[in-house]
Chains A and B, each alone.
Chain A
Amino acid sequence: MSLDDDFLEDDEMNMINVDEAASDSEAESLSDSDNEITEKLAEPTKTAVYNRDGLLDKLQDISWPEDVDWTHKLTVEIDQGPQAVDVNDDLAREMAFYTQALEGTRQAFLKLQEMGLPFLRPADYYAEMVKSDTHMEKVKSKLLYEKKQMEEAEERRKARDNKKMAKEVQSQKMKERAKQKKDEIESVKKWRKQRQQSGFSEKGGGAGELDLEFNNGKSFQRGGGKKRPGVSPGDRSGGKGKAASRMGNKKREFRDSKFGHGGRKGLSKQNTAETTNDFKGGFRGGKAGGGNKRQKR
């Protein structure tokens, strides 16, 4: 099979068969969609042959006998419904075909079930399918690709929204902080003015008048209170490498903290609380340590 896979351009799926509303004359205005142009004449040509009897005769000729079992024909007739389907409306047209097929299958299945014939394919029935496996792989990959595109678009949209919101929140915070700062400065100024006005009297207990709350009772934290768990001053990995390296190997973790990213800062030859009483020295992490020592040649 040649590789004409993605035949389907979007405009081809759209209306190809055009039924033009007629003007009085025979000449129609045309709308061409792709290469397929069809149209219907306004009035039927008067000279069209319609030999009803002949047709009936032929029908009798070729028909199968009347009492033929339904299982030979497997035909079901479905009513299209009172409303004529609009040919140009793709979705409605396809829906009509789909419902016709669905109804038909339902009726047929009921009949088959009554007859007791097997008609559903068991799950373990493997046989040649009308489309090859490789083709179905392509179909699957295309579906997955489309799904991924959609998800990515969703994510991008969400990220954009979040960013917008975050920006708003941040601007709010900045405003608040600025306001607070201004307020505090104002209050200090006011207090100074007050003191000036009351002539620097020591009556009310000087420092006690300063009724201001600095920091609202919060203690000062260097770095703005950002907490990165597990970071010690001597650590050179920046506190970020921890989560990944913690997964699993304790020994790896130890070695990373000892030698990774340039090694420990420098207190390696000084005792810590834990190592004061270790006389044999070194990591005592079970077998792994001993095994490694043996492998070293």
Chain B
Amino acid sequence: MGKKRKHSETESAAPPKKDDSAPERPKRTLLGWKDKTQDAEEPKPAPEFRNKEKVLVTCSRRISFRYRHLMLNIVSLLPHCKKDSKVEAKSSKGATLNELVELKGSSSCLFFECRKHKDLYMWMVKSPSGPSVKFLVNAVHTMEELKLTGNHLKGSRPLLTFSSNFDKDVHWKLLKEMLTQVFGIPKEHRKSKPYHDHVFAFSIVDDHIWFRNYQISVPHNEADKVARGGLDKMTLVEVGPRFCLNPIKIFGGSFGGPTLYENPFYVSPNQIRALEKRNKAGKFAKKIKAKTRKKMHEISNPLEPDEFADMWKDDE
């Protein structure tokens, strides 16, 4: 692999945020050196905000291949994450997972839980005392699918776009904040790459959060200016992965705690399957009933004996 460009190369183009002027030489006067300490008594600037988000990504055992690939895709998208080994089924309870998160020193966690080899639940948790959300994940398409043809730098910071209905209600606002913190790569992260060449799209449609990841391709010559009219020629190519999140519950603590929000429209996949089976089961019972009804009907209304029934009997 070629030598990676250090951040410093690109940062040099960025204008310095603060006026970090080097301490000037003390002025020389007849009486000696006069320090500029009086002027340099600026109030200490507020400590710069540093995003120190670290995400722990784990899954439960008996996760199927598609969901495992989804998890691996997410790991490759988020350089500020740390992938951990599978957790035992018994220990996918609050306490053990909390401990794990503490141990790794992460501030949030994405836990993929696969039930019955069919349903994928995703927990998004903010660590020490933060809220946690449990989602049901649908419509999973991983990056390996050949129809998703885009590609982007591994670890480059994405632009996050949210649809405006995230601001319509409190629980959506909370989810938006959590998504920003988890999926947004910290600014000067060690493993992040400098340019912005892909964009995440989170939209709420039908009370589900849909996630898409697109690569940005725009004709350009310089790194910090789009060519004239280039913005109109911008195209997006989908990179993947794709998934759809259905929020089930929001808890006040991490991996547990008081329930702050329950999705009123949520039906668990088990219930759906049970319903289906019940419908099918009903079929046989109905058939039996129909048969007995037919018999009863025949008994109560006997047919008249047919005149021609004996016509061919003699002929043998």
Interface residues of A (CB under 8 A from B): 1-2, 4-8, 12-13, 16-17, 19, 27-28, 30, 32, 35-41, 44-45, 47-52, 54-56, 58-59, 61-65, 68-69, 71-80, 84-85, 87, 93, 96-98, 100-106, 108-110, 112-113, 115-122, 125-131, 135-136, 138-139, 142-143
- Can you name the residue of chain B whose Cβ is closest to the Cβ of A142? B146
Could you tell me if A38 and B136 are in contact, using CB atoms closer than 8 angstroms?
yes
Residue from the set A6, A8, A130 with the largest chain B CB neighbour count within 10 Å: A130
Partner of B224, one of A40, A80, A102, A118: A118
The listed residue (A2, A8, A39, A120) touching B222 by CB distance below 8 A is A120
Task: List the A side residues contacting B205 at CB < 8 Å.
Answer: 84-85, 87, 93, 96
Question: Could you tell me the distance between the alpha carbons of A254 and B203 in the complex, rounded to whole angstroms?
Answer: 74
Q: If the complex has contacts A116-B15, A116-B224, are A62 and B177 also in contact, measured as CB distance less than 8 A? A: yes
Also in contact, A8 and B206, with CB within 8 A (given A48-B262, A113-B226, A127-B154): no
Task: Decide: B236 and A8 in contact? CB cutoff 8 A.
Answer: no
Residue B10 CB within 8 A of the other chain: yes
Instruction: Decide if B59 is an interface residue (CB 8 Å cutoff).
Output: no
> A127 vs B7: C-alpha distance in the bound complex, in angstroms?
13
Pairwise interchain contact B184-A37, C-beta atoms closer than 8 A: no
Report whether B234 and A106 are in contact in the complex, using a CB–CB cutoff of 8 Å: yes
Q: Do B161 and A100 touch across chains, with their CB atoms under 8 A apart?
A: yes
| 8 Å CB contact of A119 from B136, B223, B259 | B223
Do B206 and A87 touch across chains, with their CB atoms under 8 A apart? Answer: yes
Partner among B15, B151, B170 whose Cβ is within 8 Å of the Cβ of A55: B170
> Nearest Cβ in chain A — how far from B15, in angstroms?
6
* Shortest distance between the CB of B113 and any CB in chain A (Å): 17
Name the one of B2, B200, B258, B263 contacting A54, with C-beta atoms under 8 angstroms: B258
A–B Cβ pairs within 8 angstroms, 8 of them: A6-B145, A7-B142, A62-B130, A69-B49, A77-B166, A109-B226, A121-B195, A130-B154
Besides the contacts A41-B264, A118-B223, A126-B2, what 11 more A-B pairs have beta carbons closer than 8 Å?
A: A1-B69, A1-B144, A16-B138, A40-B206, A48-B261, A50-B171, A80-B164, A80-B203, A105-B236, A108-B161, A109-B226
Which residues on A sit within 8 Å (CB–CB) of B4? 127
Determine whether B106 belongs to the interface, using a CB cutoff of 8 Å to chain A: no
Instruction: Give the nearest-CB partner of A1 in chain B.
Output: B144
- Give which listed residue, B162, B184, B260, contacts A77 with CB less than 8 A: B162
Task: Tell me the complex Cα distance, A145–B72, Å.
Answer: 28
Contact with A along B214-234 (1 / 0, CB 8 A): 101010101111100001001
Say whether A102 contacts B263, CB under 8 Å.
Answer: no
B48 to chain A, nearest CB (A): 9
Q: Are B212 and A101 in contact (CB under 8 A)?
A: yes
Question: With A55-B250, A127-B4 given, is the CB distance from A72 to B51 under 8 Å?
Answer: yes
Query: In whole Å, how far is A187's beta carbon from the nearest beta carbon of chain B?
Result: 70
Q: Is residue B207 contacting chain A, with contact meaning CB distance below 8 A?
A: yes
Judging by beta carbons under 8 Å apart, are B275 and A27 in contact? Answer: yes
Please judge, given known A-B contacts A7-B142, A106-B234, whether A75 and B2 are in contact too, CB under 8 Å: no
A residues less than 8 Å from B134 (CB atoms): none
Task: List, in ascending order, chain A residues with CB within 8 A of B93's CB.
Answer: none
With an 8 A cutoff between CB atoms, is B265 at the interface? yes
> Are A128 and B153 in contact (CB-based, < 8 A)?
yes
